[in-house]
Chain A
Amino acid sequence: MPLYHNDDQAMLKDSVAPFVAEQAPVSHLRQLRDSADATGFSRDLWSQFTEMGLPGMLVPEAHGGLGMGHMEAGIVLEEIGRNLTPSPFLSTSVGAVAALAKAGGTQAGRWLPAIASGEAIIALAIDEGAKHRPDRIATTATRAGNGFRLDGKKSFVLHGHVADMSIVAAKTDGGITLFAVPKDAKGVTVDPRRLVDSSLASHVTLNGVEVDADAVIGEVDAGGDILDALLAATRAGSAAELVGVGQGAMDMTVTYLKERKQFGKLIGEFQGLQHRAAHLYGEMEVARATVMKAQQLLDEGSEGARLMVSVAKAKAGRAANLAVREGVQMHGGIGMTDEYDIGLYMKRDRALAEYMGDVHYHIDQVARMNGY
C-alpha cells in the first residue's frame, strides 16, 4: 500500500476537515473553557459526529460500525488536533474499540454497538501515577463471590467523570486482566481535575469495587494482549492528533510571519526565522509520514506495528512540541497572551504528549525493541 491517502480516505478528509473546522474550531474550545463546562466536551457535537458515523468508524460492521482502520481514524484525529476540539473520540472510538474488538465476547457485544450509536462514552483507566508505566500496574483484582473485587488508584483518566464505562487494567493472579467497570459502580470515587489544556482528567479510586465475572474483557489473566491493542491504538491515535496540533500551530505561525512587520519588513523575510520555519516543516512532514506508517502497519496487523507506534508517538511528540515552542516564540509578545490561539496549541501539545507515554518513554521502548 502506498503511503498516502487513497481516494476513499481523501474523500473522508474532505468531509471531516471542513466539518470540524466549522463546527468545532478553537473558539469552540474557548467557549467550553470560559463557561466552565463540567462535561469536558460538547454532547451536541458528539451527536453530529454520530450522524456522520464517526464514533463507530473502527467498530466492526457486525457490531454496527463502519469497520474502518486506524488510517481513517487518524484523519479524524488530525482534524481534532488542528482545531483543538475537545472530544471523547480518542478514548472511546479508538482506544476502547481496539480493546473490545480484540477481546470479543460479552463486553464487546454490550459496548461496541453502543459506541457506534454514539450512546456510550468510554474512559481508559490505565495509568496509576504521574507517569505512564503500564508494565507496573498495581491495581488488583481478586476473586470474590461470582466475580472480582477491584482495589487501586488510577490517574489521567480522560472523561472518567462522565464515562458510561471505564476500562480498568488490573493485576490478577496469572497476569493482567481488563475489566469493564460501569458508571456509578459501588466503591468507585471519581475526582476530575482540570488540566492545563482545559480538558478534564480524573483520579479514580477503586475501593473494593465488586464486578461480575462477565465484566472481564476477554479472558482472565490474558489481558496483556488486549491492553497492548488498546495502547497501540491510543498511542497511534494521539500521535495523529499531535500531528494536527503541530500542523495547526505551524500554519498559524507561517501565516503570522507573512503578516507581521518589524524594521520595515515582514518578519518572514528574515533568514533567521525562515530557516527555523523550514526546519520545522521538515520535522512535521517526517512526523506525518511516521504516523501514517504506524497506522498502516496496525491496519495490516503487522508485527512491526509496535515499534512504529512508539516511533510515531515519539516523533510526533518531538515535532509538535517544536511547532508550538517555535509558534509562541515567533509570535513574540502576543504569543504569550490568552487572547491569541497559539498558546492553546502549546497547552494541548503538552497534555497529548504525556498521554499514553511521553517522548522519553517511547524512545526507551524503541531501544528495548531493538535489543538494547
Chain B
Amino acid sequence: MSDLDAFRAEVRGWLEANCPAEMREPIREEGDVCWGGRNWVFKNDAQKAWLEACVSKGYTVPDWPKAYGGAGLTPEQTKIFKQEMKRIHARSPLDSFGIWMLGPALLQFGTEEQKVQYLNPIARGEIRWCQGYSEPGSGSDLVSLQTFGEDKGDHWVVNGSKIWTSYADQADWIFCLVRTDKANKYQGITFMLFDMASKGVTTKPILLISGNSPFCETFFDDVEVPKTQFIGEINRGWDVAKYLLGHEREMISGGGAGGDMVSIGGAFAKAFGKNAAGELDDPILRAEMAAFDVDVFAYRAMGERFMDMWKTGRAHPASSNMMKYVGTELNKRRHELVMSGGGSEALEWDSEETKGGARARGWLRTKANSIEGGTSEVMLNVIAKRILDLPGA
C-alpha cells in the first residue's frame, strides 16, 4: 500500500469514527452551517462535537501548518481528505472568512507573530472575521476607496463606510482596506485588522431581493486602530488585497462557483417523475437540463484540473478569474432551471412546504454570484488582458 493509500485509509477510519451522522445530512437551513466566533450558538451537540473533533486534528484547515492550527497536509493528502469528506457527504466543520481569505493573506504576508496570534483562533473557530472591501462609491473600481485612517502616531483614526460586508453584524473582527495616503492611489491603502467591538463601529444589515440580509453596511466613526494591526506594509495593502482577491477566486473556483455540481435533470426526475418512455415529460425542458448537465460535468472536470494545476504551480496565475466567471454563470443558469422545473410551486415565498420559499430565495441569491468578488465583466477584462494578452484592456 502506498503512503497515500495508507493516508486515505487513516482518514476514512477517522471520519467513520468522528463524523456524527447528523453532520452527514445535507445542509437544510442557515443554522446548519457552522461559522464559529465569540457569539456562536451551536445548533446541536453534533455540530459542536464535529467542530471539536476536527479542531483537535487540524482538519478545519487541513493544509495549514500544524503550528497555526492546521494538519500540515500535502496537496495530494488534502485532495484525498476532501474526497473522503465528500464520499460520506460530511458537512464542512467550519465555514469562515478567516479560513478562506484572511488566513491565506496572513500565511503570505503576515509576520510569524501575527500568524500565531491570528491563525490559531481562526482554525479553532473562536474568532469570526468579516471583510471590509467595497464601499458605496467603490465597487468594481475598488482601488478608488475613500475610507480614511488618519495617522495619530501610535494609532490610526478610521472614518468612512463599507458596504456588502458579509455577516458584519455577526463578526468579531474585520480585515479592512483603509486609505492611509490620499495622494497615492495604489500605494496609499493599508490592510488593517480590528475588533468589531471597537468604539465607533456600527453595522446595518441590507435587505436584499431574496428577502434575506447576509450583507451589511458598516460605518466607522473615529475608530481607533493600533498601528500594529495591519498586514504587509503600511500603504501597500493593495498588494495584499489583490492577492486575496485572486485567492478568493481560487477558492470559489475550487468547487464553490458552480454550486451544487450534480445532475439537475436527475434530481428533477426524482422529484417530479417521468413519462412512460422514462423521460422527463417536458421535452424542451429536458433538453435544456441535459445541456446544462453537460456543462456541469464539464465544469467539474475543469475544477479538478484547475486545482491539480493550481496547487502544483502549473496554472496560469489569472486562471482563477476564468473559473469564477464560468462557475458563477453556470450556477445562475442552474437556478433558472430549478425555477422553471418547480413551476408555480417554486414561486411560493413563505410556505412551509417550500421551506420558506427556499427555491425562490436561493434563485435570487445566485444573481449576486457574478457580481460579488469581481463581476463577470471584470473577470472577462482580466482574462482578455492577462491571459490572452489583448491590447489596451
Contact = CB atoms under 8 A, between A and B. Distances in A.
B294 A362 contact: yes
A363 B290 contact: yes
Q: Which 8 A-B pairs have the closest CB atoms?
A: A293-B301, A278-B383, A367-B290, A274-B384, A269-B392, A3-B305, A372-B269, A2-B308
Contacts of B306: 289
Interface stretch (A27-35, A88-96, A280-288): A280-288
Given A254-B390, A266-B391, A277-B388, A370 B293 contact: yes
A290 B298 CA distance: 5
Given A265-B392, A293-B301, A372-B289, A279 B308 contact: no
Interface string A269-311: 1010011011101110111111011000000000000011011
Contacts of B387: 278, 281
B274 interface: yes
Contact of A282 (B274, B278, B279, B383): B383
- Residue of B278, B290, B309 with most chain A CB atoms under a 10 A cut-off: B290
A48 B383 CA distance: 39
Interface of B: 263, 265-266, 268-269, 274, 278-280, 286-287, 289-291, 293-295, 297-299, 301-302, 304-306, 308-309, 312, 314, 319, 322, 325-326, 377, 379-381, 383-384, 387-393
A314 B294 contact: yes
B387 to A, nearest CB: 6
A323 to B, nearest CB: 13
A372 B265 contact: yes
A246 interface: no
25 contacts: A2-B308, A3-B304, A3-B308, A4-B305, A257-B390, A265-B392, A268-B391, A274-B384, A274-B390, A275-B380, A275-B381, A278-B387, A282-B326, A285-B302, A286-B326, A292-B301, A311-B301, A364-B290, A367-B280, A367-B287, A367-B289, A371-B266, A371-B269, A372-B269, A372-B280
Contacts of B294: 310-311, 314-315, 318, 362-363, 366
B117 to A, nearest CB: 35
B347 to A, nearest CB: 23
A293 B294 CA distance: 13
Given A269-B390, A277-B384, A278-B384, A287 B298 contact: yes
Contact of B308 (A4, A269, A315): A4
B7 to A, nearest CB: 16
B293 to A, nearest CB: 5
A289 B305 contact: yes
Contacts of B377: 275
**Most chain-B Cβ atoms within 10 A of its Cβ — which of A282, A288, A308, A318?**
A282
Contact of A258 (B286, B291, B391): B391
A293 B304 contact: yes
A366 B297 contact: yes
Given A366-B297, A370-B266, A293 B305 contact: yes
A258 B390 contact: yes
B301 A308 contact: yes
Given A278-B322, A366-B290, A372-B278, 20 more contacts: A2-B312, A4-B309, A265-B392, A268-B392, A275-B384, A278-B384, A278-B388, A279-B325, A282-B326, A285-B319, A286-B295, A288-B305, A293-B304, A311-B297, A364-B287, A367-B286, A370-B263, A370-B269, A371-B266, A372-B265
B302 A286 contact: yes
A279 B376 CA distance: 10
| Most chain B CB inside 10 Å of its own CB: which residue of A254, A266, A281, A367 | A367
Contacts of A308: 297, 301
Contacts of B305: 3-4, 288-289, 292-293
Nearest to B316: A285
A228 B314 CA distance: 35
A288 B305 CA distance: 10
A366 B294 CA distance: 7
Interface string A333-372: 0000000000000000000000000000011101100111
A281 B322 contact: yes
B390 A277 contact: yes
Contact of B298 (A274, A278, A311): A311
A282 B308 CA distance: 17
A290 B302 CA distance: 7
Interface string A104-140: 0000000000000000000000000000000000000
A372 B309 CA distance: 34
Contacts of A318: 294
Contact of B265 (A279, A282, A370): A370
A284 to B, nearest CB: 10
Contacts of B265: 367, 370-372
Contacts of B299: 286
Contact of A285 (B297, B308, B314, B322): B322
Contacts of A288: 305
